[in-house]
Amino acid sequence: MGTSLQGKTVVITGAARGIGRECAVRFADEGADLALFDIAGDLDAVGYPLGSRSQLGHTAELCERRGSAVVAAAVDVRDTAQVDAAVKEALGRFHTVDVLVNNAGIAAPSGLVLHEISESDWSLMLDVDLTGAWRMMRAVAPVMVAQRSGSIINVSSTAGLVGYRNFSGYVTAKHGLIGLTKAAALDYAPHRVRVNALCPGSVRDNPLVEGRMLAEIAHSLDVPAGEYEELFLRDQPMNTLIETSDIAGAATWLAGDDSRQVTGAVITVDGGFTSR
């Protein structure tokens, strides 16, 4: 076990599976205690299954096996009361929050030209992918300010840096998350609280962490299930998809003291995709 996060408390949203689970396990390996939040249920408008209670429980179990103390809670980041209550529970257990990973997000409803998107679908995308991160930061930042330390990591996307056809809601939310990151970094720099954004590229759906985001994006584009990895590979300069472990590694660095002078940064883990 490493020690770079020994004694730290990390809050992760969207922790039931995928990048969230990979980050949770990596942080547990580094000695952190964890508050794991996930909606742990489906949204009718999204059109694909979201993280479940059993998946969230499995993430918690994996972290506990590594020696971490864990709080796991069903939290809808659209609900301020749920967010505040979950953060309060984490503080009651751990008395501090050192790292926040805003990973909760949805990729659908998507696949439509802008003028075809309903107002409710547009609002849902922004409420989860952008305003949800703001709600979490609003709940956690005062704790970090009071202790004069902390690292907030917002999981954006290459969609926060470039446009994608028929994904205007997602692109808008992820661009907004980068703007939020930069503004918050300036707000909290005097308090030694750092805020950075991670922009993953096309992340392989690793069955070990039950990831499925890439498959759902492909589904929104009507790409056959057996062909989508090859399709995404065509745009990868390094000719390989990103692994969830690549994202977790970058998040671990941003969480630890080795990045203590890094704030307001936008770090791409995309195999060179946005360098074209």
CA distance readout (Å), 234 to 182, 240, 271: 31, 9, 12
Task: State the catalytic residue, choosing from 48, 164, 170, 228.
Answer: 170
Q: Is residue 170 flagged as an active site residue?
A: yes
CA distance 33 to 22: 15
Q: Are 231 and 241 in contact (CB under 8 A)?
A: no
Backbone angles phi, psi at 190, to 5 degrees: -65, -20
Q: In sequence order, what are the residues at sequence separation of 6 or more whose Cβ sits closer than 8 angstroms to the Cβ of residue 17?
A: 51, 55, 59, 209, 210, 211, 212
Pairing verdict, β 99-102 and 150-155 = parallel
CB 123 within 8 A of CB 58: no
Q: Would you please indicate which residues are annotated as catalytic (active-site) residues?
A: 170
